[in-house]
């Protein structure tokens, strides 16, 4: 083929068309995935405002309001159940567990990753093995410990038990993050005039940000959705979390308070989604920084 101008023009046209098709395909699939992801959430949002007649009638369009929307089920949630208490309990347990997890797993992971400990490697593996024990097995001894300490029916039971799951896994996770930060950078900071602690807080921690966010997300969501321990240790309404309170108090026998259930879920999901969104940029930025020479 020769490079005469008609050929080049044709090729250029072809490339342009292919490029345009590619963009169309990209947007179509992005829209498709968005709809897929949004669907359950939007259904929940619609249902929480639906009147019972509207919801239960088979002839009605399930995706839209056939009767005027109502706030009565949300009112029910706040007036007739301890929903706010559940939310408060979940927040307290989640925040304390997250703080405890970070306080223990950061130093543990640092020591395992950095200091030349004789048993470091093996301890790391041992910690990982804890992860392989199913929580249902640990359930019985845990119950005995909680009863022995006399902290059943308090939030302390959960604050004590959840870190036994989160600390080992978080340590393992953070160990990988610490190892990915070159030792050189830390030592350079020490030569540049900082103590080891100063070097860690000024140079290592900013680079650990994605790892720390991952641990916060993990520890908080685990505390928020854990069910078995929460159900068996705390049976009084005042010490339930959302995970146990909502299903136990809004499903009575075979009566489901669907709209209130949906409200309970949506009302906690929205603030969490907003918080994650705020962190998303920095979370991604953390992965794309070039540390040493390329």
Partner 1 sequence: MALLEVRGLRKEFGDVVAVDGVDIKSEEGEFLVLLGPSGCGKTTLLRMIAGLEHPTEGQILLGGEDVTDLPPRARQIAMVFQSYALYPHMTVARNIAFPLKAQGVDGPERDEKVKWAAGLFGIEHLLHRRPRQLSGGERQRVALARAIVREPSVFLLDEPLSNLDAKLRAAARDDLMGFQRRIGITSVYVTHDQVEAMGMGDRIAVMRDGKIRQMGTPEEVYHHPADTFVAQFIGSPPMNLLDWGDYILGFRPEHFLPEGVQDGGDRVPFDFFVNRIEYLGSERYLYGFIPGHEETKVIAMLPATVTVPLEEQRQHRFSVASDQLRFFDKDGGQKIPPQTIQA
Instruction: Indicate whether 189 belongs to the interface with partner 1 (CB under 8 A).
Output: yes
Inter-residue contact 224 to 153 (CB < 8 Å): no
Residues contacting partner 1: total by CB under 8 A: 22
Least Å from the CB of residue 200 to partner 1: 13
Inter-residue contact 203 to 189 (CB < 8 Å): yes
Instruction: Indicate whether 117 belongs to the interface with partner 1 (CB under 8 A).
Output: no
Inter-residue contact 111 to 120 (CB < 8 Å): yes
Q: Among the candidate windows 82-90, 93-101, 142-150, 286-294, which touches partner 1 by CB under 8 A?
A: 286-294
Instruction: Indicate whether 69 belongs to the interface with partner 1 (CB under 8 A).
Output: no
Closer by beta carbon to partner 1, 115 or else 274: 115
The angle at the Cα of 282, spanning 280 to 284, to the nearest 5 degrees, equals: 70
Cα of 195 vs its chain's centroid, Å: 34
Q: What is the DSSP string of 196-233?
A: HHHHIIIIIHHHHHHHHHHHHHHHHHHHHH--HHHHHH
Closer by beta carbon to partner 1, 67 or else 192: 192
Least Å from the CB of residue 124 to partner 1: 20
Closer by beta carbon to partner 1, 115 or else 292: 292
Residue in 130, 151, 185, 267 binding partner 1, rule: CB under 8 A: 185
Least Å from the CB of residue 187 to partner 1: 5
Give the whole-angstrom CA distance, residue 201 versus residue 214: 18
Closer by beta carbon to partner 1, 9 or else 183: 183
Q: If you ran DSSP here, which 8-state letter would residue 252 be given?
A: E
Question: What residues does 251 pair with on adjacent strands?
Answer: 256
Least Å from the CB of residue 279 to partner 1: 16
Q: Which of 292, 128, 289 is nearest to 208 (CA)?
A: 289
Q: Among the candidate windows 32-40, 132-140, 234-242, 284-292, which touches partner 1 by CB under 8 A?
A: 284-292
Inter-residue contact 224 to 242 (CB < 8 Å): yes
Q: Among the candidate windows 3-11, 152-160, 184-192, 257-265, which touches partner 1 by CB under 8 A?
A: 184-192
Closer by beta carbon to partner 1, 253 or else 294: 294
H or E segment at 251?
A: strand 251-252
Q: Which two structure tokens, joined as six digits, stand for 28?
A: 């179509």
Instruction: Indicate whether 1 belongs to the interface with partner 1 (CB under 8 A).
Output: no
Closer by beta carbon to partner 1, 190 or else 214: 190
CB contact set of 112 (below 8 Å; sequence gap of 6+):
120, 123, 124, 127, 171, 175
Instruction: Indicate whether 293 belongs to the interface with partner 1 (CB under 8 A).
Output: yes
Q: Which of residues 243-282 bind partner 1 (CB under 8 A)?
A: none
Instruction: Indicate whether 182 belongs to the interface with partner 1 (CB under 8 A).
Output: yes
Inter-residue contact 101 to 169 (CB < 8 Å): no
Q: Which of residues 190-249 bind partner 1 (CB under 8 A)?
A: 190-195, 198, 203, 206-207
Least Å from the CB of residue 191 to partner 1: 5
Q: Which two structure tokens, joined as six digits, stand for 177?
A: 């993050």
Query: Which residues of this chain interact with partner 1, rule CB under 8 A?
Result: 182, 184-185, 187-195, 198, 203, 206-207, 289-294
């Amino acid at each position: 083929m020769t490079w005469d101008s008609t050929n080049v023009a044709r090729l250029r046209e072809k490339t342009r068309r292919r490029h345009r098709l590619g963009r169309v395909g990209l947007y179509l699939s992005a829209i498709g995935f968005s709809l897929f992801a949004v669907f359950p959430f939007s259904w929940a949002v619609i249902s929480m405002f639906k009147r019972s007649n509207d919801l239960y009638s088979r002839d009605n369009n399930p995706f839209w309001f056939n009767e005027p929307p109502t706030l009565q089920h949300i009112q029910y949630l706040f007036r007739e159940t301890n929903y706010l208490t559940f939310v408060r309990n979940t927040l307290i347990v989640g925040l304390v567990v997250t703080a405890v997890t970070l306080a223990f797993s950061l130093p543990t992971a640092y020591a395992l990753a950095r200091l030349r400990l004789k048993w470091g490697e093996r301890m790391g593996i041992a910690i990982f093995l804890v992860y392989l024990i199913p929580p249902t097995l640990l359930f019985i001894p845990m119950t005995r410990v909680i009863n022995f300490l006399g902290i059943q029916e308090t939030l302390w039971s959960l604050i004590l038990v959840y870190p036994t799951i989160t600390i080992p896994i978080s340590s393992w996770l953070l160990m990988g993050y610490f190892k990915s930060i070159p030792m050189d950078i830390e030592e350079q900071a020490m030569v540049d005039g900082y103590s080891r602690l100063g070097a860690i807080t000024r140079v290592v921690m900013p680079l650990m940000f994605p790892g720390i966010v991952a641990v916060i997300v993990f520890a908080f969501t685990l505390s928020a959705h854990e069910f078995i321990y929460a159900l068996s240790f705390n049976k009084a309404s005042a010490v339930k979390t959302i995970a146990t309170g909502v299903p136990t108090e809004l499903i009575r026998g075979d009566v489901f308070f669907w709209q209130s259930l949906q409200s309970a879920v949506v009302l906690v999901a929205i603030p969490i989604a907003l918080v994650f969104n705020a962190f998303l940029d920095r979370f991604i930025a953390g992965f794309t920084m070039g540390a040493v020479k390329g």
